[in-house]
Chain A
């Protein structure tokens, strides 16, 4: 993500908005992947009762959310913060 130097004056608010946008966009991607209407929905068991199917879906959702958080969201936020610090240091 490129940091626009012209926005340095409003940086605190802008940084917060950008960080939230990163988190929300990755949450959207994660939720879309778990959507049964998506082009590639997760497989289901035909013989699982609805309660077990719901537990399986919850385990899958919980794991994917946690993995995306650790493998993508946190590294992206760290990269973003690093870019911001680089711009701030030039002020």
Chain B
């Protein structure tokens, strides 16, 4: 996601196998215009989820075979636009990290093989299209089944909530803020660690550069929380 300045319109469909089998379609039209649709069958029930990140809104429409749920979160959640800003900050702080990552020679059957404690995560990229081809080792395993270098605008037609749909906006807001924050923070830390190992950056310089990246993350990701803190202090 941090490399999305290089990402063009695209659509990718994945088959995921975990606690249930899902088909997931990812449509990217712009950094702040993304749609993720997933559908699955489980114990005879159909599950459909569609999530949009459009501008500064996160929108979800879901159906689990028994009822409907929706969320519409009109707040500045971390969007791909935030990731773009972070990418710029990372590039400025650690100049060769982003380019170096893209140019890394991963050989035939390009992939990333990482260990996270007990877990071994293997990510395989298609070197012809640069689509994520397969992920194994995670709770769910993903395999690319279809891709195209275009985005269907129809994917961004957002229907109103179904009558009687449960409004889960508050739950989604907390979930999205928490997990996006962790993912962004984790990405920053990993890039910085790799840059230090590659470029032998001195301690104080490394800390100063990394703090400048966290400044961008804090200002963008925590703006609502800071506003809440100011409001609570004013009362």
* Known interface pairs A42-B185, A45-B189; A60-B230 also in contact (CB < 8 Å): no
Name the residue in A46, A60, A76 with the highest tally of chain B Cβ atoms < 10 Å from its Cβ.
A60
* Known interface pairs A40-B178, A55-B210, A59-B210; A64-B189 also in contact (CB < 8 Å): no
The answer to whether A43 and B189 touch across the interface, beta carbons within 8 angstroms, is yes
Cβ-defined partner of B211 (8 Å) among A22, A44, A63, A79: A63
* Known interface pairs A59-B207, A60-B214, A62-B211; A72-B229 also in contact (CB < 8 Å): yes
Name the residue in A63, A64, A71, A72 with the highest tally of chain B Cβ atoms < 10 Å from its Cβ.
A63
B117 contacts A by Cβ under 8 Å: yes
How many Å from the CB of A32 to the closest CB on chain B?
A: 12
The answer to whether A46 and B115 touch across the interface, beta carbons within 8 angstroms, is yes
- Which secondary structure characterizes the binding site on chain A? helix
| Chain A residue nearest to B196 in the complex (CB) | A52
A residues in contact with B117, CB < 8 Å? 46
Q: Once A and B bind, how many residue pairs between them come within 8 Å at the CB atom?
A: 82
| Chain B residue nearest to A30 in the complex (CB) | B229
Cβ-defined partner of B215 (8 Å) among A46, A48, A52, A67: A67
A residues in contact with B175, CB < 8 Å? none
- Which secondary structure characterizes the binding site on chain B? helix
Count of interface residues, chain B, beta-carbon cutoff 8 Å = 31
| Chain A residue nearest to B208 in the complex (CB) | A59
Quick check: which of B32-40, B99-107, B133-141, B218-226 contacts chain A, the rest being far away?
B218-226
Cβ-defined partner of A72 (8 Å) among B115, B211, B226, B235: B226
Identify the B interface with A (CB < 8 A): 115-117, 178, 182, 185-186, 189-190, 192-193, 196, 203, 206-208, 210-212, 214-215, 218-219, 222-223, 226, 229-230, 233-235
A residues in contact with B190, CB < 8 Å? 45
